[in-house]
């Protein structure tokens, strides 16, 4: 570009003019041109920024010496970094020690936590209602009554809140109250096999693993579907519901009594099912999607 001729003046643009327009120092231009003409004479690329007090070569030698003098095996970079500071007086960044040890294969061997290649297919959303429900419990603090429990039963298909129960205790009996509300709402009665065919997703909490809870849900015809231990995402539908509930009525609010919390939950449940828009529902509320589904299957039933 510097050697190009201006069509207006008939003269070359020149290095100074081009560098001024582009905002590049002329020294950078000449350095790049010199390196292109003679690559062997180009200066080695140096680390940008201020130079550390201890070069990498010296620090790596100190790391190797520390590993050699230590009577222990399998120590990680944190202990090496700590000893360099205390015993050798080397004030260097911990991440720099980690980088050098990683680049030079000096990190201690460790075993990754064993986990199956594919625990689940990450598809816990059903194609129709009453295929899988989820139940879980959570605690909320009140001023006069201390911590209270909320149990909720949620439909996997449209994230609809089917049943709930607020109580001081969090045992199998309180969990069954939320389940009973859901069964009665969906099937009209609590008789034997009322909810036959429904899978019930829950974690390994003592209230859900209790014999009374398991026997009652089986009497309703439900099949247990256990979430994986240490993986709350496998019960993610009800976990996400609790997050929404707490964001909307719990966080930033103080409840005096359990009754205050119960009334807030009652109002939220009705408003959530009728108005809360959910992306997986096509940005429809749970009740709106259920109505849409009912209208779609009416011609099939006729």
pTM of the full structure: 0.61
- CA 190 to chain centroid: 37
Same-domain status, 203 and 244: yes
Cα→Cα distances 187→128, 158, 183, 213, Å: 15, 17, 6, 19
Same-domain status, 96 and 230: no
Same-domain status, 171 and 75: no
Domain with 65, as residue range(s), is 58-103
More confident site: 229 or 251:
251
List the alpha helices (DSSP H) in the chain: 15-22, 26-37, 56-69, 77-86, 94-103, 172-187, 206-209, 211-219, 236-245, 258-275, 286-301
* Residue 174 and residue 151 in contact, taking contact as beta carbons nearer than 8 Å: yes
Same-domain status, 155 and 92: no
* Residue 199 and residue 154 in contact, taking contact as beta carbons nearer than 8 Å: no
Q: How do residues 107-146 score in pLDDT, each as one tens digit?
A: 877 665 565 555 555 567 788 999 999 999 999 999 999 9
Q: Minimal CA–CA distance to 152: which of 168, 134, 140? A: 134
Residue 53 maps to a domain: no
- What does the pLDDT read at residue 230? 76
Distance between first and last Cα of the chain: 79
Which residues have a Cβ under 8 Å from the Cβ of 14 and sit 6 or more positions away?
2
Same-domain status, 196 and 97: no
pLDDT band at 279 (very low <50, low <70, confident <90, very high): confident
Residue 210 maps to a domain: yes
Q: How do residues 191-234 score in pLDDT, each as one tens digit?
A: 999 999 999 999 999 999 999 999 999 999 999 999 887 777 78
Question: Which CATH number covers residue 245?
Answer: 3.30.420.10
* Residue 101 and residue 107 in contact, taking contact as beta carbons nearer than 8 Å: yes
Distance from C-alpha of 137 to C-alpha of 151, rounded to nearest angstrom: 4
Same-domain status, 94 and 151: no
Residue 26 maps to a domain: yes
Same-domain status, 150 and 294: yes
Farthest CA pair distance, the chain: 99
* Residue 23 and residue 16 in contact, taking contact as beta carbons nearer than 8 Å: no
Rg of the chain, C-alpha, whole Å: 33
Comparing 44-58, 109-123, 159-173, which segment has the lowest mean pLDDT? 109-123
Distance from C-alpha of 73 to C-alpha of 232, rounded to nearest angstrom: 36
How many domains would you assign to the chain?
Answer: 3
* Residue 223 and residue 199 in contact, taking contact as beta carbons nearer than 8 Å: yes
- What does the pLDDT read at residue 273? 96
Secondary structure class of 83 (helix, strand, coil): helix
Q: What average pLDDT does range 44-68 have in this prediction?
A: 85
Same-domain status, 11 and 69: no
């Amino acid at each position: 570009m510097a050697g190009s001729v201006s069509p207006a003046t008939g003269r070359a643009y020149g290095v100074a003019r081009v560098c001024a327009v582009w905002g590049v120092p002329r020294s950078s231009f000449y350095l790049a041109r010199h390196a292109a003409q003679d690559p062997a004479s180009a200066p080695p690329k140096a680390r940008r920024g201020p130079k550390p007090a201890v070069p990498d070569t010296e620090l790596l030698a100190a790391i190797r010496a520390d590993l050699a003098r230590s009577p222990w095996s399998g120590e990680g970079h944190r202990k090496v970094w700590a000893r360099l500071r205390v015993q050798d007086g080397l004030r260097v960044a911990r991440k720099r020690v980690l980088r050098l040890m990683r680049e030079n294969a000096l990190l201690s061997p460790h075993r990754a936590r064993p986990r199956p290649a594919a625990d689940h297919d990450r598809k816990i959303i059903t194609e129709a209602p009453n295929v899988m429900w989820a139940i879980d419990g959570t605690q909320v603090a009140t001023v006069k009554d201390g911590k209270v429990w909320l149990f909720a039963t949620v439909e996997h298909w449209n994230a609809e809140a089917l049943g709930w129960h607020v109580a001081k205790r969090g045992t199998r009996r309180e969990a069954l109250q939320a389940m009973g509300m859901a069964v009665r709402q969906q099937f009209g009665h609590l008789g034997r096999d009322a909810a036959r065919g429904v899978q019930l997703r829950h974690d390994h909490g003592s209230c859900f693993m209790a014999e009374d809870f398991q026997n009652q849900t089986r009497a309703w015809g439900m099949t247990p579907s256990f979430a994986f231990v240490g993986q709350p995402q496998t019960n993610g539908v009800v976990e996400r519901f609790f997050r929404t509930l707490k964001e909307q009525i719990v966080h930033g609010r103080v409840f005096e009594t359990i009754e205050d919390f119960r009334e807030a939950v009652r109002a939220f449940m009705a408003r959530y099912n009728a108005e809360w828009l959910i992306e997986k529902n096509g940005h429809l509320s749970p009740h709106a999607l259920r109505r849409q589904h009912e209208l779609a299957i009416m011609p099939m039933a006729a």
